[in-house]
Amino acid sequence: MSLTARYLESHDIPTVILGSAKDIVEHCGVPRFVFSDFPLGNSAGKPDDLESQAATLELAFKTLETAPAPRTTIQSPQRWTTSSDWKLDFQNIETIPQAEIKKRRAEFDRIKEIGQKVRDQTADN
């Protein structure tokens, strides 16, 4: 996404990236970045929380309008929880039951298989 934003910007289309992997997004050098200190996959706000999502979108628009310089990063004031303990447990293999790991692996393998079929069909056309 970061590289796409850079491409669009080079063609005079302004962009704002919403993300929660600050080090990666900043390394790519995007023009405007709204960082949410949330678990990966939740950079547009908390799931099922329209207020959080609307606030994130509003901050993105404000960043688009007011970014003072290239490579501007704005940190969202929102917090995932009142404690930062979620960072210790999020996707920590030590805390995930074996049955859940097996289920996630099977889903990952199923998605890879679908992707391979699409890739094969695309190559044939």
Q: Tell me the per-residue pLDDT of 28-41, one tens digit each, with 9 for 90 and over.
A: 889 999 999 999 88
Q: What is the residue range of 108's domain? A: 92-125
Report yes or no on 102 lying in a domain. Answer: yes
Query: Same structural domain for residues 8 and 46?
Result: yes
Measured CA to CA in angstroms, residue 111 lies from 40, 48, 97, 107 at distances of: 19, 24, 21, 6
Q: What is the pLDDT of residues 75-104, one digit of tens each?
A: 999 999 988 888 887 777 888 889 988 999
Q: Is the entire prediction scored with pTM above 0.85?
A: no
Q: Are residues 14 and 50 both part of a single domain? A: yes
Q: Is the pLDDT at 113 greater than 90, yes or no? A: yes
Q: Is residue 115 part of a domain?
A: yes
